[in-house]
Amino acid sequence: MKVLITRKIPQSGIRVLQSHKDIELDYRQGAPLSDAELKEAISDVDVLVPVIPDKITKEVIEAGKNLKLIATYSVGYDHIDIETATAKGIYVSNTPGDLTEAVAEHSLAMMMALGRRIVEADRFCRGKQYKYWDPMIFVGPKFMGKTLGLIGFGRIGQFFARFARNGLGMNIIYSDVSQKIEAENLLDAKRVDLDTLLNESDVISIHCNLCEETKHMIDYEELKKMKPNALIINTARGPIIDERALVTGLKEGLIAGVALDVFEEEPKIHPDLMKMDNVVLTPHIGSATWEARIQMSNMVAENVIDVLVDNKPPRYIVNKELIKDSVKSIA
């Protein structure tokens, strides 16, 4: 039974897979595979373990003649054609819940870095521009008492709200398809419609999934509804913001700044964003804590063992239509 792992991941899950004599690993640890390389490599494998930038299209899935499981090393699965996989009876699994704290911490770090102008100030020091203390440089907003608006109030959004509410005394509002009563009570949070959130928030942080409904959810018209001092944080998925509209909005001063961990066409970044001081950029590292990444590796191994060794559906299954019985899944 063959498992293709497209990139180097923490050893913990690899060791679990290696302990099963019947499992043969095709473990690629170099540069990302091109589309053609992926199609060739997948031809005789039982399980594919891709990462977020691998585009698992209909054509790639169809090239996997023996494919039983796509066990993505991620929570998100918008890079996989789930419909095709499901139609072919191929399980898709993910690693839910493992990176909640990591991404929430990164969102907090992005907010603080942007507001307190840490990256700009660092560049200033390294550029040997620090000649004397100046009361008027790198002044930013205080967060205490300001309003944080969360678009998407699932696990990550709620965790970030905890930091902001309990640590910084921020007011929490959110927009989400469903009401989260327990979290509302815990965090004194209020559910509002998107327009109200855009109007009232000093910081807007995005934590929803990418789907047809959320693609370009933030475009030029939405930017016009925000406060001119508003900061936007996106650690979810790039295409939720229309990046060209964002550049225009920043140039026109519709908002004060943006911190992005994700981009519309990763790894490409709009060149104008690179030139702006009120923009903080990181290369999709929201989940990059050792704890989260090791846990992701373990969960991938659990999914693979479920299917290949125990002959049952993966415990963290995405396409639940393929199973009748309830499984342990917190997706």
Supply the residues annotated as catalytic. 237, 266, 284
The CB-of-29 to ligand DGY minimum distance in angstroms stands at: 18
Of the candidates 76, 238, 313, 314, which one interacts with ligand DGY according to CB under 6 A?
76
- Provide the residue type at 104 as one letter: A
| Cα(146)–Cα(77) distance, integer angstroms | 34
Residue 150 structure tokens: 């969360």
* E runs forming strands in 57-211: 69-71, 91-93, 147-151, 171-175, 190-191, 203-206
Count of residues touching ligand DGY (by CB under 6 A): 6
**171 belongs to the binding site for ligand DGY (CB under 6 A):** no
52 binding ligand DGY? (CB under 6 A): yes
Q: Which helix (H) or strand (E) holds 221?
A: helix 220-224
Binding flags for ligand DGY, 249-288, as an x/- string (CB under 6 A): --------------------------------------x-
Nearest distance, CB of residue 97 and ligand DGY, angstroms = 11
Q: Which range touches ligand DGY (CB under 6 A), out of 71-79, 184-192, 195-203, 216-224?
A: 71-79
Indicate whether 93 belongs to the interface with ligand DGY (CB under 6 A): no
Task: Looking at residues 282 to 301 of the shown chain, list those that interact with ligand DGY (rule: CB under 6 A).
Answer: 287
Write down the least CB distance from residue 106 to ligand DGY, Å. 10
Question: Is the CB of residue 143 less than 8 Å from the CB of residue 113?
Answer: no
Q: Does residue 267 have a cis peptide bond before it, meaning omega lies within 30 degrees of 0? A: yes
Contact 287, 102 (CB under 8 A): yes
Shortest Cβ distance from residue 75 to ligand DGY (Å)? 4
Query: What is d(CA 47, CA 17) in angstroms, rounded to the nearest whole number?
Result: 12
Q: How far is the CB of 68 from ligand DGY (least distance, A)?
A: 22
Question: Using the rule CB under 6 A, which residue among 60, 75, 151, 259 binds ligand DGY?
Answer: 75
C-alpha distances (whole Å) from 39 to each of 55, 71, 143, 179, 307 are 11, 16, 49, 42, 22
Using CB under 6 A, which of the segments 16-24, 74-82, 171-179, 247-255 binds ligand DGY?
74-82
Find the part of the chain contacting ligand DGY (CB under 6 A) among 27-35, 68-76, 217-225, 308-316.
Answer: 68-76
Read off φ and ψ for residue 140, nearest 5 degrees: -140, -175
Q: What is the DSSP letter of 215?
A: T
Contact pick of 74, 100, 205, 214 for ligand DGY (by CB under 6 A): 74
Nearer to ligand DGY, 147 or 234 (CB): 234
- Residues 95/331, Cβ–Cβ less than 8 Å: no
- Pairing mode, if any, of strands 257-260 and 279-281? parallel
Site for ligand DGY, rule CB under 6 A: 52, 74-76, 99, 287
